[in-house]
């Protein structure tokens, strides 16, 4: 999955949990909770949605690695299985 595809998937997940969020103006390097006025339950639901969409498990210890949109995209891209050569 490309960076742009992952970014789109993350924004879709955010939109599902917080449909009132203005995703067009998200500062990719800003804290998602602050940028979109998301509480901890929203962030947990977004993480659960991403786990389901991607078929991966995100350990709680890794949640701090997903504070910004850029961080989240990079983290999730690093969690993708590597296709066989």
What residues contact 44, with CB distance under 8 A and at least 6 apart?
A: none
- In tens, the pLDDT along 9-49 reads 999 999 999 999 888 888 999 999 998 999 999 999 999 99
Domain count, the chain: 1
Tell me phi and psi for residue 31, to 5 degrees: -60, 120
What residues contact 14, with CB distance under 8 A and at least 6 apart?
A: 21, 23, 32, 36, 38, 46
According to the model, what pLDDT value does residue 24 have?
A: 87
Residue 85 belongs to some domain of the structure? no
Residue 84 belongs to some domain of the structure? no
Residue 23 belongs to some domain of the structure? yes
Range of the domain at 48: 3-79
Contact of 72 with 51, CB cutoff 8 Å: no
Q: What is the CATH number of the domain that holds 68?
A: 1.10.1200.10
pTM, entire model: 0.88
What confidence tier does 80 reach under pLDDT thresholds 50, 70, 90? confident
Residue 47 belongs to some domain of the structure? yes
* Alpha-carbon gap, residue 58 to 35, rounded angstroms: 22
């Amino acid at each position: 999955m490309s960076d742009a595809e992952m970014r789109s998937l993350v924004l879709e997940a955010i939109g599902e949990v917080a449909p009132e969020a203005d995703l067009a103006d998200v500062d990719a390097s800003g804290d998602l909770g602050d940028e979109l006025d998301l509480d901890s339950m929203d962030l947990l639901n977004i993480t659960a949605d991403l786990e389901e969409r991607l078929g991966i498990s995100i350990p709680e210890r890794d949640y701090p690695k997903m504070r910004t949109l850029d961080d989240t995209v990079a983290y999730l891209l690093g969690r993708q299985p590597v296709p066989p050569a």
